[in-house]
Structure 1
Amino acid sequence: MKIQYLLVGAGIVLLAAAPFVLSQGLINAAIPMLIAALFACAYNLLCGQAGMLSFGHCAYFGIGAFSTIHAMNALDGTGLLPTPLMPLAGAAGGLIFGAIAGWFATQRTGTYFAMITLAIAELLHALSPHLKEIFGGEAGVSAMRMPAWGFTFGTTNEVYYLTLAWVVLCLGLLYLITLTPLGRLALGLRENAHRLRFLGYNVHRLSVLIFAISGMFSGIAGGLQIVSNEAANYVLFDPTLSAAVVLNTYIGGVNVFLGPALGAAAMTFFGYVVSDMTQSWLLYQGLLFVLVMMFMPTGMSGLAVLAYAFVKRLGIKAAAPAVLLYLTASSCFIGACVFLVELLRRVFSHDYIALARAADATGLPAIVLFGWSWSPSSVPTWLLPLGLTALGIACWKLAKISIAAQESRAAHPQHTTIPSPTEQRSA
């Protein structure tokens, strides 16, 4: 437990020092990473902690965003609150709307609950372009950050530190909630709601309360986005935002408190970096989600916990070969997947098809990929991903053999025999 607190403290220190070592472009990317991390943890309170899978959580994020932007524009632009406290307006909006929507949604459970949450978000998405006085129509609503408390909030660093302070505070409060009786009841709600009802608890009231708290913290995340962007439109109610928070939460891992934050930060950074490199970045994101659900259901954080337990049990020296083999296998699989996806994307593009028709008599034209020319009609082109896949499978099997050997050695250590007194005298 102490190691976890030390890691969290070190992470906060590194985040606080980021503006001194990173460029302004990366700091601009870090702000949505922090917001996505808070949004994912707020969602995980409902989904991972209480077991209620919501497909429309963007509704509370969006309501919090619009509540914040209207609070910023109130009183002729001076704002209802100082700029550092503006996310409180998002918290109020998310809490109120979350309580109302949660009262209806929690009347049902399971798939029906998920469909109701999706319907509420879709209803907002459909109505918001027509409610121009509230949501601004197609153009949306804009605002300006006002100076407060001696800060102008006109620089990226000031907005970053404001976002970081709110995210750390909210994550701390969410963690404290998990330690309270309410948090324990949420776990009971996930595991066996019928038993809670039998014990005398009002399950519906409990579900609405957890739903509203999750909506409140989601509204704070939406408010932080408005403080950062100074604009909002109905795109905040798009279903892709709800899908993204589900994706981020499960990729990070719902069984570890900071798992969703890790997944959200990693996937946001992934989209920021990879979207400039390839048009297929959404495909990679989807493939990653499928692979995580199939082979690593505990997510990235669960994998880290397993790796730490493995190294702690066997020692770094004994675990190093298996870890290196797993990393090599993963690199081979990733290389083969990226090569095939990028090659096939170019082969089936309209431009390449036109070139192939023009050069029909001379064969298929070569494709420049990763600084090399690859001919789709050449056998070595297709042997490369096959070879990488075969190498990855071999390394994966060797890693499993290495782990089995180390586990067997740890379970049956060699005992040194102590010679008897007679043998000692004869010696």
Structure 2
Amino acid sequence: MKLRSAPILAAVILLVALPAFLSQGLVNAAIQMLIAALFASAYNVLCGQGGMLSFGHAAYFGMGAFATVHAMNAIGGAGLLPTPLMPLAGAIGGLIFGVIAGYFATKRTGTYFAMITLAIAELVHSLAPHLKGIFGGEAGMSTTRMPAWGISFGTTNEVYYLTLAWVVTCLALLYLFTRTPLGRLTLGLRENSHRLRFLGYDVHRLSMLVFAISAMFSGIAGGLQVLCNEAANYIVFDPGLSSAVVLNAYIGGVKSFLGPALGAALMTFFGYGLSDASQSWLLYQGILFVLVMMFAPSGLAGLAASLMQLHRRFGTAAFLALVCMYVAAGLCLSAGGAFVVEMLQRLFSQDYRALAVASAGGHLPALVFLGRPWLPGSITTWLPPLLAIAVGCLLVWLARRRTSALTLREEAGSKTQADSLAPHRRTA
């Protein structure tokens, strides 16, 4: 899990300069990106490093959110802490509930552990609307950011920089955790917990500590969400949030430290960009997850590492040719697939069915997409996307053949070199 400092520093500088080039709406999306990145990284401590798959991590995110709300509303609205330090309340809320839930969840492993975490999250999600004194009922609770340290925190940019400072600090602390003896033992939990027990370690206590640390940083992410929205309701315990962090972590790559943060950032902007453009954006998200799990199970971080390895093995020219073929194939498959999905979504929509019933002559009316009408019964409507999909599949097949040919050539060259060195070794 060694990180190179130069790319990390460049990424931080880019994030610092980002608000100067974005609209206020995109800055708000960047805040959500940072929060999702921290949440996914906190989850990865438990799942990627500890090997414990949790299906209910929204519970600790939500507890951190409501702890921050109560801290901000304390003392007549003045707050228990200055606004920049309010996520500490989220850390305490997530930590306390993480210790309690982790004690019971880590009594079991594997599927049983996952089911216990899911049950705990569902229990909290069901109880939250009825505990009005703690969670504000169905309406939730609202709060207000108070000025502190000469900063009003009334603008989106000020909230962005506060969020960025917390996220960078927390990611640094999580990375330092991976370098500690406890962090090393966490990897042992994932690889072989029976060996740790044989060596004399208390595996349950170790698992509970890792669970609590993950919950604490998830609570900080929840606190930052409250600072951004100035409100929280029981939706923060929704199972959809728990599933989203699992998807983000695995799409980014749970075996890499920054993989989940990368996956969360990309998927947040993916959802932000597509949610306004298409009603089927969740379908695209699911398709992307399935494709990553099928063809790049190590995630986007693992895919990037594989590309770097191909560059070292085959050289720049062959590598660029392969990349161009795969990119062209991806564009063709994406364009053809998106066209089919959007057309089918319109074709089976309730509005179109009503329009088809009302149309005269029994003919299906045209579907409007990309600024022009398309007749659903015409071959000219479906031929272009099918051709694009076919071309994409052909390019993938050609790229795979090219990769196989380069691999065989590399193996033949290695064998020839080994045969040429064999007489010298025998002579020596």
Q: TM-score category by the smaller chain?
A: over 0.9
Which is further off, 292-301 or 359-368? 359-368
> How far 1:316 moved relative to its partner?
2.0
In structure 2, distance between residues paired with 1:63 and 1:350:
39
- The answer to whether 1:406 aligns with 2:417 is no
In structure 2, distance between residues paired with 1:353 and 1:148:
56
In structure 2, distance between residues paired with 1:4 and 1:389:
39
> How is 1:261-300 mapped onto 2 (pairs within 5 angstroms)?
261-300=261-300
**Counterpart residue type for residue 10 of structure 1:** A
**Counterpart residue type for residue 253 of structure 1:** G
- The answer to whether 1:311 aligns with 2:306 is no
**CA deviation profile, 1:220-243 (whole Å, cap 9, x unmatched):** 000011111110111111111101
Q: Which residue number in structure 1 is paired with residue 84 of structure 2?
A: 84
> How far 1:413 moved relative to its partner?
4.9
Does the CA-based 8 Å contact 1:337-1:385 persist in structure 2? yes
Q: Which residue number in structure 1 is paired with residue 249 of structure 2?
A: 249
- The answer to whether 1:333 aligns with 2:333 is yes
Which is helix-richer, 1 or 2? 2
Gaps of at least 5 residues in structure 2 are 418-428
Query: Are the structure 2 counterparts of residues 204 and 3 from structure 1 closer, same or farther at C-alpha, using a change threshold of 3 Å?
Result: closer
**CA deviation profile, 1:301-341 (whole Å, cap 9, x unmatched):** 11111112212332222211110000011111111211111
Does the CA-based 8 Å contact 1:321-1:402 persist in structure 2? no
> How far 1:287 moved relative to its partner?
1.2
**Counterpart residue type for residue 63 of structure 2:** I
**CA deviation profile, 1:366-395 (whole Å, cap 9, x unmatched):** 112112322111112222222111101111
> How is 1:193-204 mapped onto 2 (pairs within 5 angstroms)?
193-204=193-204
Q: Which residue number in structure 2 is paired with residue 146 of structure 1?
A: 146
In structure 2, distance between residues paired with 1:103 and 1:3:
32
> How far 1:407 moved relative to its partner?
3.1
In structure 1, distance between residues paired with 2:285 and 2:404:
32
Q: Which residue number in structure 1 is paired with residue 425 of structure 2?
A: none
Q: Which residue number in structure 1 is paired with residue 238 of structure 2?
A: 238
Gaps of at least 5 residues in structure 1 are 417-427
Q: Secondary structure at the match of 1:128?
A: helix
**Counterpart residue type for residue 274 of structure 2:** V
Q: Which residue number in structure 2 is paired with residue 120 of structure 1?
A: 120
In structure 1, distance between residues paired with 2:202 and 2:273:
47
**Counterpart residue type for residue 119 of structure 2:** A
In structure 1, distance between residues paired with 2:228 and 2:354:
44
In structure 2, distance between residues paired with 1:363 and 1:49:
58
Q: Which residue number in structure 2 is paired with residue 422 of structure 1?
A: none
Does the CA-based 8 Å contact 1:319-1:403 persist in structure 2? no
Does the CA-based 8 Å contact 1:50-1:187 persist in structure 2? yes
What is the RMSD computed on CA atoms of the aligned residues? 1.7
Q: Percent identity?
A: 66
Q: Secondary structure at the match of 2:368?
A: strand
In structure 2, distance between residues paired with 1:53 and 1:188:
15
Normalised TM-score (structure 2): 0.94
In structure 1, distance between residues paired with 2:348 and 2:157:
44
Which is further off, 290-299 or 243-252? 290-299
In structure 1, distance between residues paired with 2:373 and 2:365:
10
In structure 1, distance between residues paired with 2:290 and 2:68:
36
> How far 1:20 moved relative to its partner?
1.4
In structure 1, distance between residues paired with 2:372 and 2:387:
17
In structure 2, distance between residues paired with 1:341 and 1:360:
27
- The answer to whether 1:162 aligns with 2:162 is yes
> How is 1:9-408 mapped onto 2 (pairs within 5 angstroms)?
9-359=9-359, 361=361, 363-408=363-408
> How far 1:120 moved relative to its partner?
0.7
**Counterpart residue type for residue 108 of structure 2:** R
Normalised TM-score (structure 1): 0.94
**Counterpart residue type for residue 401 of structure 2:** I
Q: Secondary structure at the match of 1:192?
A: helix
**Counterpart residue type for residue 295 of structure 2:** F
In structure 1, distance between residues paired with 2:367 and 2:312:
47
In structure 1, distance between residues paired with 2:301 and 2:288:
15
